[in-house]
Amino acid sequence: MHTDRTVRSTCPYCGVGCQILLNIKNERIIRIDAPFDAAPNYGRLCVKGRFGADYVHHPDRLTTPLIRKTRQKPGQRTAARYPDDWREATWEEALDFAASELARIRQTCGPDAITSNACAKATNEDNYLHQKLMRAVIGTNNVDHCARLCHAGSVTGLQLAIGSSAMSNSIAEMKDLECFIVTGSNTTETHPVISTFLKQAVRKNGAKLIVIDPRQTEMTRFATLWLRHKPGTDTALFNAMAHVIVKEKLYNPDFIQSRTEGFSEYIESLEEKTPEWAEAITGVPADDIRRAARMYAQAGRAAIYWGMGISQSTHGTDNTLTLANLALLTGHVGKPGTGLNPLRGQNNVQGCSDSGGLPNVFTAYQPVTDPAVRAKFEQAWFAGHPDLHLPDTPGLTVTEMVDGILTGKVKGWWVMGENPLMSEPNLRHAQEAVEHLEFFVAQDIFFNESNVYADVILPAASFAEKDGTFTNSDRRVQRVRKAINPPGLARADWEIICDLARRLEQKQGRPVSAGWDYRHPSEIWEEMRRLTPAFAGIDYDRLEREGGVHWPCPSFDHPGTPYLFADQFPRGRGRFHAVEYGTQSELPDNEYPFILSTGRVLYHWHGGTLTRPSALNDIWPECTVELHPHDAARLGLKTGDWVDVSSRRGKITVRLLVTGRSPEGTVFIPFHFAEAAANILTDNRIDARAKIPDYKVCGVKIERAAAPPDRPGADIPLEERGAIKDVAAG
């Protein structure tokens, strides 16, 4: 079909950062292709990247600022219905209202009474200004985002072990791997393009793949060895692999001597952690553990890739530390084809963290507690106003924000492009918190389960309607380009933030500090680049020439860094950590005999905000629960039955999918479906260090539902429901 123009951009879904070509006709995206000569995907796209951008034109897009007609009282806040409970407003009125209320809370309760969520779907430039407003204008470090809910365990563990939390090696290396471990990642559904390179390494390069996962994902079909351990027993398995490597002297003594510390104390902790000890805990045969350890250690080069199955746990930090121990033991880090590689979730979750969207750091992880770092940012942000200072105490994490509302510490919340009432664990607890807010301002492209509780909604532009940059999972900074105009009065997030910041400073009687008069996102990036040594050699001109650059890139003559730690670790030496097996997770019992694990399906993404208003929803239109055939037989259930899944926190009604993909005693529910939100069931206990909730292990029970739920499609047999019919057929 003839198009008016083609605009290159970056996919708005997962952390692979695929390059796409938006084909525009009559100001609509009519087709998406991929350039064959562009990293990281080289012409490859998954179903979401190729067919999932039609949400941009959905008639339910927010197109004008909205203000609640009735003022909400703390403890009595309710979800608003559109259009009855809202009135349209001008931008001036909506922003004035938001600024006035935030300024009031700051003046009466202090800056730390306000919290905010940055956005892993927004650009680096949007998120940089978001955290700048919170820190420089409101005066608090209470800014966090969904990285807390997906990879905080990875971040904390890697920081402790090596001093850096990003993926260490590049996607480009994957097709040439020699040996690699995939654990806690359903890669073919969560990062489909990455999975094609990993499969290529096996089929064309003869690479040996070790899959370590309770669930039978598609990657197990390509594995030399699949270790199916019991959910939540990861540390026991990884410790036993380390025991084998030490006892059989398969470790790298030169690397350990020159690049690490704490080895002697660490190997003492492994003495009793034999494969037989681990077999009793994990269910994995001891000889398979030995085989996996030898395969990984004896490879010339080997890599580890993991997903949220490792990090989303009360012991997510420990899981990551045990993986880091394996890499440090063998020296499989600091070279191509090796490394410690957490596969990041949303399209810009890496960039949102890099841009300062965390409560304890500025851009590229410069600590807010460091006086020299604060002085640098104060000089840039408060030029000419030496009396203005930045807060020096780390702020609240997203999980702490929810608790802070209920204790009265938090009064106001600004949420940009996130949906806490789908992503938080134990949603009834989170909803109760939202109901107690004094003021709630939301900034988004659709109504969602959270922003219907807001006092004011600010309509934002989608990825296709603004310029900026995303940073993918392997630290590659890439351009996002405006292809069409936003609908109605919707505006780019960075423009909304600048307007809000100016109004806030005026309401607070402060001089308007320099830096809120940007004309283009390139000027925002330029400010961030000057303040961030890791980004110093990257600008828009270079991105236009090269397509993308991996940070750290300290100068314009630096090539960028596809793989990290060639010479040293950021903390100096990598540190071994002794980790004892144990769990704080809610384990099954007689009343709740099944373990619940949550995750994604291929056709949807996270809370479904983008994919549910897309044609992808026709392919996988409803929530299912996977149950092992033996468990189904005991309960007298079959595929297609409506069942109630209950935990100590709530109940949802879903379709049953009888399959051996989930092990006996474990059920799996995707978390994309608001009408059957998996996080009604999940537990809000957290990893003490990373503050990440446990989405992978909690106790549930399954019972036949009394009747189908009252929702569209409930009367259609499961075997007729899009792609679900193929899975149901086996």
pLDDT confidence band for 508 (50 / 70 / 90)? confident
The pair phi, psi for residue 630, each rounded to 5°, is -65, -40
Q: CB-based burial of residue 650 (10 Å sphere; 0-12 exposed, 13-18 middle, 19+ buried)?
A: middle
627 and 702 in contact (C-beta within 8 Å)?
Answer: yes
| pLDDT value of position 166 | 86
- Helix (H, G, I), strand (E, B), or coil: what is residue 686? strand
| DSSP symbols for 608-655 | STTTTTSTHHHHS-S-EEEE-HHHHHHHT--TT-EEEEE-SS-EEEEE
* Residue 61 CB partners (closer than 8 Å, separation 6+): 445, 446, 459, 462, 487, 488, 490
* Residue 100 CB partners (closer than 8 Å, separation 6+): 507
Per residue, the 3-state secondary structure of 236-265, as one string, reads HHHHHHHHHHHHCCCCCHHHHHHHEECHHH
CB atoms within 10 A of CB 93: 14
15 and 345 in contact (C-beta within 8 Å)?
Answer: yes
| Pairing between β-strand 651-658 and β-strand 642-646 as defined by DSSP bridges | antiparallel
How far apart are alpha carbons 587 and 517 in whole angstroms?
A: 53
Q: Averaged over 313-319, what is the pLDDT?
A: 93
| pLDDT value of position 386 | 86
* Residue 319 CB partners (closer than 8 Å, separation 6+): 153, 157, 184, 234, 235, 238, 310, 311, 313
| pLDDT value of position 424 | 82
Token couple for 688: 């003490």
Place of tokens 């003021």: 439
Q: Averaged over 246-253, what is the pLDDT?
A: 98
Q: Averaged over 220-248, what is the pLDDT?
A: 97
pLDDT confidence band for 152 (50 / 70 / 90)? confident
The pair phi, psi for residue 576, each rounded to 5°, is -75, 145
Q: Which of 664, 489, 417, 551 is nearest to 92 (CA)?
A: 489
**% residues pLDDT > 70 (the chain):** 99
How far apart are alpha carbons 391 and 112 in whole angstroms?
A: 10
Domain boundaries, the chain: 5-57, 66-143+359-419+427-550, 152-343, 594-728
How far apart are alpha carbons 362 and 131 in whole angstroms?
A: 8
Question: pLDDT tens-digit profile of 693-725?
Answer: 888 999 999 999 999 999 988 889 888 888 888
Question: pLDDT tens-digit profile of 344-401?
Answer: 878 899 999 999 999 999 999 999 999 999 999 999 999 878 889 999 999 999 889 9
Q: Which of 130, 93, 141 is nearest to 498 (CA)?
A: 130
* Residue 546 CB partners (closer than 8 Å, separation 6+): none
Q: Averaged over 14-28, what is the pLDDT?
A: 96
Q: Averaged over 398-405, what is the pLDDT?
A: 92
| pLDDT value of position 724 | 86
| pLDDT value of position 148 | 80
| pLDDT value of position 87 | 97
Give, for 290, the enclosing helix (H) or strand (E): helix 286-298
Considering the domain 5-57 in this protein, what is its CATH number?
2.20.25.90
- 152-343 folds as Dimethylsulfoxide Reductase; domain 2 (3.40.228)
| pLDDT value of position 334 | 96
| pLDDT value of position 712 | 87
pLDDT confidence band for 426 (50 / 70 / 90)? confident
Q: Assess whether pLDDT exceeds 90 at residue 665.
A: yes
Place of tokens 């399959």: 659
Residue 699 CA to chain centroid, in angstroms? 24
Quick one: CA dihedral 8, 11, 17, 18, positive or negative? Answer: negative
Q: Which of 111, 152, 79 is nearest to 691 (CA)?
A: 152
Q: What mean pLDDT value characterizes the chain?
A: 94
pLDDT confidence band for 607 (50 / 70 / 90)? confident
Chain length of the chain? 730
| pLDDT value of position 512 | 62
| DSSP symbols for 511-527 | ---S----SSHHHHHHH
Question: pLDDT tens-digit profile of 559-591?
Answer: 999 999 999 999 999 999 999 998 888 999 999
Considering the domain 66-143+359-419+427-550 in this protein, what is its CATH number?
3.40.50.740
| pLDDT value of position 147 | 73
Per residue, the 3-state secondary structure of 394-418, as one string, reads CCCCHHHHHHHHHHCCCCEEEEECC
Q: Which of 152, 611, 131 is nearest to 416 (CA)?
A: 131
| pLDDT value of position 327 | 98
549 and 534 in contact (C-beta within 8 Å)?
Answer: no
Q: Averaged over 447-451, what is the pLDDT?
A: 94
Question: pLDDT tens-digit profile of 475-487?
Answer: 999 999 999 999 9
Q: Averaged over 429-440, what is the pLDDT?
A: 94
| pLDDT value of position 346 | 84
| pLDDT value of position 212 | 98
Q: Which of 640, 659, 648 is nearest to 718 (CA)?
A: 640
214 preceded by cis ω (within 30°)?
A: no
140 and 409 in contact (C-beta within 8 Å)?
Answer: no
Q: Assess whether pLDDT exceeds 80 at residue 526.
A: yes
Q: Assess whether pLDDT exceeds 80 at residue 85.
A: yes
More confident call, 716 vs 210: 210
* Residue 485 CB partners (closer than 8 Å, separation 6+): 27, 465
pLDDT confidence band for 514 (50 / 70 / 90)? low
**% residues pLDDT > 90 (the chain):** 86
> Tell me, what amino acid is at 319?
N
Q: Averaged over 645-651, what is the pLDDT?
A: 96
More confident call, 91 vs 688: 91
Q: Assess whether pLDDT exceeds 70 at residue 96.
A: yes
- 594-728 folds as Barwin-like endoglucanases (2.40.40)
How far apart are alpha carbons 56 and 680 in whole angstroms?
A: 29
| Pairing between β-strand 574-575 and β-strand 260-261 as defined by DSSP bridges | parallel
535 and 477 in contact (C-beta within 8 Å)?
Answer: yes
Q: Assess whether pLDDT exceeds 80 at residue 729.
A: no
Q: Assess whether pLDDT exceeds 70 at residue 730.
A: no
